[in-house]
A and B are shown apart, each in its own frame.
Chain A
Amino acid sequence: MKKRVKQSISLLLCVLLVLGALTGCGSKDTKDTSKETKETTKEEAKESSTPKEPVSIKVWHDGNEAIMKTIETRVNDTLKDENITVTFEKKAGITDQMKLYGNDEANGPDMYMAAHDSLGTFAEMGILAPITDIIDTSVMADQLPMTVDAGKYKDTQYMLPIYFETLLFMYNKDLWQGEVPTTTDALYDYMVANTNADAGTYAVVNQHSTAYNVAPVINGFGGYIIDKDAKPGLNEQATKDAITYNQKFAKLEADGDYNTVTTLFNEGKAAAIIGGPWLIDGINKAGIKLGVKSLSSFTLPNGNALAPYSGVQGVGVMKYAAASKKDAIAKVLTVLAGPEVGIDLAKTANCAPANQKSYDDTTVAANEMIVAIKDTASTALPMPNIPQMSVMWGPTESLLAAVNKSGEDVNKAADKYQKEALKAISDMQ
């Protein structure tokens, strides 16, 4: 009997332990208030005392770690005397993470860095502070206007642009025969003459069923994926014509998967690839003599140049951070807007800086790839940054895959996926 009691007690303890772990909630209120008071006292201290207290700023990103390291080093070196440290932390699937942590001051980041197309989503969620609340617009005076516009949502500036990317025509100088054509029709003729899919050799490869990679043709034809008023344009005649035109190229461009096309190019099985600066590491390692041309130097049959999307990489500031760390963040943003960060990025990672003054640097001006990206900026369209864009990738790529890979009729497929896109957009509300 005694034993049984003992065992019941130990069991009960077990239960209590689990319960205790689960209901840590009980003590939450007190904990929270204590944290708040601590924070307010800290703030008061910051304002009154002259010696600078260390401030650390956490930035989440979902990009290339080498690029982030470069930015981090430059900012920290510059702000050493201010006692401000910036740390970049990689978060895979940053959009989903921001949805969870975007208004969680205790665990969330102070700033984030990503391409501008998710800006509208975050802005609508109300987790971002306008950049102009923290720094004066004059800080951004040197940034390329296109990049500044990309960081605007509903006329408010939420993002400070740092660098931008566009697609390029990249070719292997040892494999490409003769001059690179200046019209897409001539390019097609070259591809027909120099592609042997059964042997696995290609003239040009492209992610032909990825919306971003087909956008140059769609935009060039005057079509659109989604317009400013959130109206999808998948079944617009111009979009359909563009997709039909792209389809004949797609037949000569392998299966269009990212891994496939980059490997083909790096192995010397493809003479050219439509890609961007993110490919450069692999290309250099493979020892390829690389030539680069801007997509805007190719003319479509209608006389327009190819018009790729541009993706602007920049930083946004979380609302709570803008309130509690305003001064420090303002200093960080000022450094990020300056030409030095851009020069560093251009040198280490072939990024095209958003700051025009960066291009005064001789090595930047001599970088063929960066010059090509900057040239494309004239015809490139910033990716739409309205939240509705986030549901457009799915239907658009389904449409492209249906036409290019499953051989469906363009008109039928376009109507079907236009309907799907409209439904997805109405589902958002």
Chain B
Amino acid sequence: MGGNKIKRRIGLTLLNVVFIILCFVGMIPILYALILSVSDGNNALSSSLSLLPKKFTLHNYSAIFIEEPFVLWLKNSVILSIGTCVLAMGTSVVAAYSFSRHRYKGRKSILKLLLLLNAFPQILSMFAIFRLFKECNMLNSRVGLVIIYAGSMCIFSIWNMKGYFDTIPIEIEEASKIDGASDMKLLRKVILPLARPAIIVTAVMVLIFVWNEYLFATTFMLNDKSYTLAGGLYQLQANDYSRSWPLFSAAAILVSIPILIVFFCIQKYMVSGLTAGGVKG
């Protein structure tokens, strides 16, 4: 037994080393951005190989907060993300549940059709959606943008969650059904807790999509006060000729941090109710 323990410990240490290296390699481009963001001057791109900036400054970060409507953009991003998550998840959880549990004619064809529809590149749809929204007077409105985002992520969410719902043994539900629970109650009381990891993963995917989307955000919102973080950053710094690299990298880091915090926090909910509940398929 003792030998096993030592073997285990060595294994874990090795694994830790592997992960530290992996994280470091994966983080190199981000570290690069981090170094740029605390450098002084515009020519922070440098031909010398160094890990530390020549002159350390937090000026770029403060500049973003003071000179750009960063807080406003953050607020817009949060509102749009939450709105989209609610709408997309609200509609697709129910739809995914019905695709997974109900058997009816046309079900398979619809699922397949959805997948094919999803193959249409979204950049090509921009013009058509623009025309539709113009007719509906929904340009320059958050509701409009939320609908675009939710619609874009709907197929993905349905498919992604349906796959997971399928793996939840139907016996669990049947037991509750005998107890007289309605579909909605079943969904809320049985399926949602059991499928928590899938639902969280899907919601995070939706969240990140909205958080990082910039083309629709800058095309459909007309005023720089209504941009999202990604949109505002794009609007300010997309052009090579007007980009200030340190400012750009600082903004990029700031944009990513809220998402990382969300990641870190949700992880303890990622454990499935399925195994936690001790139900065996």
| A residues neighboring B (CB under 8 Å) | 3-4, 7, 11, 14, 18, 21-25, 28, 31, 62-65, 89-93, 96-97, 100-101, 104, 107, 200, 258-259, 262-264, 266-267, 269, 278, 281-282, 285-286
Q: Could you tell me the dominant secondary structure of chain B's interface residues?
A: helix
Residues of A near B46 (CB, < 8 A) are 263, 267
| B135 at interface, CB cutoff 8 A | yes
| B240 at interface, CB cutoff 8 A | yes
Considering the chains assembled together, what is the distance between the CA atoms of A300 and B241 in angstroms?
A: 29
Residues of A near B169 (CB, < 8 A) are none
Residues of A near B241 (CB, < 8 A) are 64, 258, 278
Q: A259 to B45, Cβ gap below 8 A?
A: yes
Q: A269 to B47, Cβ gap below 8 A?
A: yes
| B156 at interface, CB cutoff 8 A | no
Considering the chains assembled together, what is the distance between the CA atoms of A262 and B41 in angstroms?
A: 13
Q: A4 to B182, Cβ gap below 8 A?
A: yes
Q: How many residues of B contact A (CB 8 A)?
A: 38
Q: A92 to B91, Cβ gap below 8 A?
A: no
Minimum C-beta distance from A109 to chain B (A): 9
Q: Could you tell me the dominant secondary structure of chain A's interface residues?
A: helix
A-B contact pairs, 15 of them (CB 8 A): A4-B182, A11-B184, A21-B147, A22-B147, A23-B136, A24-B138, A25-B135, A25-B136, A90-B224, A90-B236, A259-B245, A263-B45, A263-B47, A278-B241, A286-B41
Q: Which of A14, A24, A262 contacts B137 (CB 8 A)?
A: A24
Residues of A near B58 (CB, < 8 A) are none
Q: B136 to A24, Cβ gap below 8 A?
A: yes
Considering the chains assembled together, what is the distance between the CA atoms of A262 and B219 in angstroms?
A: 30
Q: Which of B47, B127, B182, B242 contacts A64 (CB 8 A)?
A: B242
Q: A200 to B47, Cβ gap below 8 A?
A: yes
Considering the chains assembled together, what is the distance between the CA atoms of A4 and B234 in angstroms?
A: 48
Minimum C-beta distance from A177 to chain B (A): 21
Q: A97 to B43, Cβ gap below 8 A?
A: no
| B90 at interface, CB cutoff 8 A | yes
Residues of B near A263 (CB, < 8 A) are 43, 45-47
Considering the chains assembled together, what is the distance between the CA atoms of A107 and B140 in angstroms?
A: 8
| B239 at interface, CB cutoff 8 A | yes
Q: Given A22-B136, A263-B46, A264-B47, A107 and B239 touching (CB < 8 A)?
A: no
| B130 at interface, CB cutoff 8 A | yes
Residues of B near A11 (CB, < 8 A) are 94, 184
Residues of chain B from 158 to 196 with CB closer than 8 A to chain A in the complex: 182-184
Additional A-B contact list (17), CB under 8 Å, known A4-B182, A89-B222: A11-B184, A21-B147, A23-B136, A24-B138, A25-B136, A28-B136, A63-B242, A89-B223, A90-B235, A90-B236, A92-B234, A97-B219, A107-B222, A258-B240, A267-B43, A282-B42, A286-B42
Considering the chains assembled together, what is the distance between the CA atoms of A280 and B236 in angstroms?
A: 19
| B9 at interface, CB cutoff 8 A | no
Q: B235 to A285, Cβ gap below 8 A?
A: no
Q: Chain B 20-56, CB within 8 Å of chain A: the 1/0 string?
A: 0000000000000000000001110111000000000
Residues of A near B183 (CB, < 8 A) are 7
Q: Chain B 118-161, CB within 8 Å of chain A: the 1/0 string?
A: 00000000010010001111111001000100000000000000
Q: A7 to B184, Cβ gap below 8 A?
A: yes
Q: Given A14-B90, A62-B239, A259-B240, A92 and B43 touching (CB < 8 A)?
A: no
| B100 at interface, CB cutoff 8 A | no
Q: B182 to A7, Cβ gap below 8 A?
A: yes
Minimum C-beta distance from B247 to chain A (A): 12
| B249 at interface, CB cutoff 8 A | no
Residues of A near B45 (CB, < 8 A) are 259, 263
Minimum C-beta distance from A280 to chain B (A): 11
| B202 at interface, CB cutoff 8 A | no
Considering the chains assembled together, what is the distance between the CA atoms of A101 and B221 in angstroms?
A: 12
Considering the chains assembled together, what is the distance between the CA atoms of A251 and B169 in angstroms?
A: 67
Residues of B near A3 (CB, < 8 A) are 182
| B218 at interface, CB cutoff 8 A | yes
Closest Cβ neighbor of A109 among chain B residues: B222
**Central interface residue in B45, B130, B238, B242, by most chain A CB within 10 Å:** B242
Residues of chain B from 230 to 257 with CB closer than 8 A to chain A in the complex: 234-236, 238-242, 245
Q: Which 4 A-B pairs have the closest CB atoms?
A: A266-B43, A25-B136, A263-B45, A282-B42
Considering the chains assembled together, what is the distance between the CA atoms of A129 and B138 in angstroms?
A: 27
Considering the chains assembled together, what is the distance between the CA atoms of A31 and B222 in angstroms?
A: 20
Considering the chains assembled together, what is the distance between the CA atoms of A160 and B97 in angstroms?
A: 61
Closest Cβ neighbor of B47 among chain A residues: A200
Q: A285 to B143, Cβ gap below 8 A?
A: no
Minimum C-beta distance from A56 to chain B (A): 13
Residues of A near B134 (CB, < 8 A) are 104, 107
Q: B136 to A107, Cβ gap below 8 A?
A: no
Residues of A near B130 (CB, < 8 A) are 100
Residues of A near B136 (CB, < 8 A) are 22-25, 28
Residues of B near A22 (CB, < 8 A) are 136, 147
Considering the chains assembled together, what is the distance between the CA atoms of A18 and B234 in angstroms?
A: 30
Considering the chains assembled together, what is the distance between the CA atoms of A180 and B210 in angstroms?
A: 53
Minimum C-beta distance from A259 to chain B (A): 6
Q: Which of B137, B184, B239, B245 contacts A92 (CB 8 A)?
A: B239
